[in-house]
Chain A
Amino acid sequence: MQDAAISVQGLVKRYGEIEAVAGIEFEVPKGELFGFLGPNGAGKSTTISMLCTLVRPTAGRAFVGGYDVVSERDAVRRHIGLVFQDTTLDGYLSAEQNLRLHAELYGMPREHVPARLQEVLEMMELWERRKTLVNHFSGGMKRRLEIARGLLHSPRVLFLDEPTIGLDPQTRSSIWSYIRRLETEQDITIFLTTHYMDEAEYCRRIAIMDRGRIVALDTPDALKASVGKDRVQIHTENDEATIVALRERFGLDAQIAENLVTFGVAEGEQFVPRLFAELGQQIRSVNLSRPSLDDVFMSYTGKTIRDAEASSTDQLRQMATMWKRR
């Protein structure tokens, strides 16, 4: 708790019947890159909105930078940077004007502004484009500008809600390289949400969220380890005989998947040599894979993240229109 940048206790948000966030607890130490992973509708944005003081919790408490998000709202706002899921730039202003506006809104001492403005724009490689109207920016550039703006007032905690949503894979990976640079070069805590498994891997720790609850929270490696078994796939001369041999000699239950004999086993690296020595079948190739976050999600929620997405898409659409109505 001593170094907690974010501390959340029993946080709940209800919208009428819907329990968007159903009592979550977690803590993010200073300087960590922490991720919320979950399908659409899991409650990630609602959590961010509560932490950023935009939405009042129905129950529970949360502290950001040591400040209470309900009773010390202004203090929280001064110490956080926020990049929303949907862009919030003024397209009719230039990149620089957007940042200046932000500096004024945040009451930054005027003498700090020019240097800091240049610093964040250079960090996001937008300095040369500072005079360009934001409407002429690509999606990736807008995102980078938003991150630059979120950093401008030197926040202690930067919140990024789905920073790469709607971007092409190349731009996504470039955004990620910026985020990871921030993590190493800046004294800042980063809290982000994503529903991309591969991106969650980059976080120091992740919380897996499903239907308003945190179902698991740990480092990506620990989470994968908690699933237990590695996946082994082997290509053999005689699959039938191999399956029988696996059952008889090792007590393993193997199946044919993707035309390969497939089975799960704990500590796969140590097992593979034994396999060669004792199987008694010709092995042409071996493929050993650690469990992915997909497997982790599956084991904690009983479904794949894509299934979870599909079931909540309709709900989400409704919500999107509701948000706009506000």
Chain B
Amino acid sequence: MSVTATPAAPQHPAQGHRVAATHVPSGGLRGELRAVKIVWWRELIRFSRDRLRVVTSLVQPFLFLFVLGEGLSSIAKEGTHGVDLKTFIYPGILCMAVMFTAMFSAASIVWDREFGFLREMMVAPVKRSSLVLGKCLGGATVAGFQGLIVIAIAGLVHVPYAPVMMLAVFALQLLLAFSITAFGVMAAARVSQMQSYMALMQMAVMPMFFISGALFPISGLPTWLSVLNRIDPLTYAVNPMRQVVFAHLTINAAARRALTPAVTWFGWAVPGLLEAGVVLVLGLVMLGIAIAEFSRVE
């Protein structure tokens, strides 16, 4: 989208003034990186100012984990083969917490548009891609904090604090948060009002969450649900998350078979890394679309 100035032969007479002292050199890659960093930093500052958001975006995940997990445990006892239902849905909650925060982070673009700040960024001498990238990284970081809180309560749901597991969980959370933020930014490029954005997100995120298998094992489902489940991108974050967590649990073989079936494509079990790859690729595609949207000039 940007064209570099050619310092070649003077075409316009005003060229002579170009050497005059200016404090703004041509940015180059370093300039772009600074832009990415500052947009990222702004997300963090705003998040740190907004304590309420830290709390509110954890309410729903914790409701699911503790209320639903406790409430349904008596009727789920048979199916979980002795594993606490809360332990079973914990990986889904690890995903849910970052999803909600990432979604809110992307919402700030809509907010910035309504309150004008977006224009300050749009007129800066940097590529729009740097702005969008900074935003997505910021969303991922902020959501990462949220994820850490949920990781910290692992003990409450009988999950051990195994360093390798926690690292893998955190990496998956960051990846998911990045992709969800990219999704949100892509949507925000087209939506100008906060209410519409929130409605859109609710409409997209809740079904994605329910269908992903965050709350139920994904084997033996009716065909329609099975198909939807495989289409749902979130499936490819929730399932590896569960595999990672359950790999560090000591449970009987029956429970393991019942609770952690692999995601299958036409009978083929998709490996965890490929699943993470699906989330990454989708995230990058949405990032690309978001960049294209924001790079348009009237």
Seen from chain A, the residues whose Cβ lies within 8 Å of a Cβ on chain B are: 1-5, 7, 30, 49, 52-56, 63, 65-68, 71-75, 77-79, 82, 84, 86-93, 97, 100-102, 104-109, 112, 116, 153-156, 324-326
Number of A-B contacts (CB under 8 A): 147
CB nearest neighbor in B for A101: B38
Q: In the complex the two chains form, is A108's CB within 8 Å of B23's CB?
A: yes
Contact A67 B116 (CB under 8 A): no
B297 at the interface (CB under 8 A from A): yes
Which residues of chain B are near A116, meaning CB under 8 Å? 23
The CA of A104 and the CA of B27, in the complex, are separated in Å by: 10
| Cβ–Cβ contact A107 & B12, under 8 A | no
Residue of B22, B120, B298 touching A78 (CB-CB under 8 A) = B22
Residues on A with beta carbons closer than 8 Å to the beta carbon of B13: 1-2, 4, 66
Kindly list chain A residues whose C-beta atoms are within 8 Å of the C-beta of B30: 107
Query: What is the bound-complex CA distance between A86 and B277, given in angstroms?
Result: 43
A52 with B35: CB separation less than 8 A: no
Is the CB–CB distance between A74 and B297 below 8 Å?
no
Q: What is the CB-to-nearest-CB distance from A182 to chain B, in angstroms, rounded to a whole number?
A: 16
> How many Å lie between the Cα of A91 and that of B50 in the bound state?
13
Q: Is the CB of A156 within 8 A of B22?
A: yes
A67 to B13 alpha-carbon distance, docked (Å): 10
Question: Which B residues are CB-close (under 8 A) to A1?
Answer: 12-14
Residues A90 and B18 in contact in the complex (CB < 8 Å), given A77-B124, A78-B125: no
Pairwise interchain contact B116-A84, C-beta atoms closer than 8 A: yes
With A and B bound together, what is the CA distance between A248 and B126 in angstroms?
71
Which residues in A have their C-beta under 8 angstroms from that of B121?
105
Judging by beta carbons under 8 Å apart, are B114 and A52 in contact? no
Scan B2-13; emit 1 where CB is below 8 A from any A CB, else 0: 111100000011
Asked if B45 and A107 sit within 8 Å, CB to CB, the answer is no
Shortest distance from the beta carbon of B128 to any chain A beta carbon, whole Å: 11
Name the distance in Å between A303's Cβ and chain B's nearest Cβ.
Answer: 30
Chain B nearest Cβ from A130, distance in angstroms: 15
B23 lies within 8 A of A90 (CB): no
Q: Which residues from B are CB-within-8-Å of A155?
A: 24
Contact B126 A79 (CB under 8 A): no
User: Is A102 a contact of B45 with CB atoms below 8 Å?
Assistant: no
List CB contacts (< 8 Å) of B1-45 with chain A.
1-5, 12-18, 20-27, 30-31, 34-35, 37-38, 41-42, 45
A75 to B5 CA separation, bound complex (whole angstroms): 6
CA distance A52 to B297 in the complex (A): 12
Say yes or no for B260: interface residue by CB 8 A criterion.
Answer: no
Whether a CB of chain A sits under 8 angstroms from the CB of B49 is: yes
Chain B residues whose CB sits within 8 angstroms of the CB of A107 once the complex forms: 24-25, 27, 30-31, 34-35, 125-126
| Complex interface bits, B107-127 against A, C-beta within 8 A gives 1, otherwise 0 | 000001111111111111110
- Which one of A54, A56, A153 lies within 8 Å of B23 (CB-CB)? A153
Q: Report the bound CA distance from A326 to B122 in whole Å.
A: 13
Contact of B115 with A153 in the complex, beta carbons under 8 Å = no
Q: Is B46 an interface residue (CB 8 A)?
A: yes
Seed contacts A1-B13, A54-B122, A73-B1; 13 additional CB < 8 Å A-B pairs: A2-B13, A3-B14, A56-B298, A74-B2, A74-B27, A74-B125, A78-B125, A90-B117, A91-B115, A97-B45, A104-B34, A105-B35, A107-B126
